[in-house]
Structure 1
Amino acid sequence: MQKRHQSITSFLLERAKKMKSVPGYRKLWIEAQDEGYRCGKNQVQRLLQEAGYRSCTALKPGYRRAVSTLPVLPNLLNRRFSVGEPNKVWVSDITQIRCKEGWLYLVAVMDLGT
């Protein structure tokens, strides 16, 4: 029985590695069934948990990570929020609020010197 479990586990981990660790235990169970292994879905889940396998999420179709060509600006303020003179440092924040009519945007702009 132990050799059988090791055989199934090695197959599952090898198949998961080929699929870049994306599939969960259900897809790996189907792969094992198609390959001729006689095992249950819960057994596959338990074997993968014992092996320490965790699936990772795949990118949704059509989704690409943004590649920014903008330069990274330096942090000039560096969390020093007490400024001695007015009109030297201005800060702002924006948030969106869902309302019955749609989205409203709330913006706050402050002078740190006053």
Structure 2
Amino acid sequence: MGQCSIKVTEPVKNRDGLFGIGMLPKFWGKGYGTEATKFIVDHAFRVLGVQRVSLNVLEGNEAAIAVYKKCKAIGFKEEGRKRRANWHDGHWEDGLSMGVLDEEWAKRYWRK
């Protein structure tokens, strides 16, 4: 189906988990990405003890951005933009930095 990861390079000091996901096209649009994202982010906060989860995504990946913003138990927010980060199909795309903090996640998670 694909892969999903959380990378915590400074587990004691900054406790920032870098999230990544990639899925084969035949599995897009079926909810698997949303389910995997929720699971990994929940795991990062509850088990790994991170204080934030960050990710980078290209602006043209509208489906992924929608997943990151809509997940009720997550709620990633855009935190920054790297202009002209990637040349794709004859045009430049900006790269977006997104993140969610532990208290934001907890507020959404426990509201269920």
Normalising by structure 2, what TM-score? 0.30
- Greater per-residue strand proportion: 2
Normalising by structure 1, what TM-score? 0.29
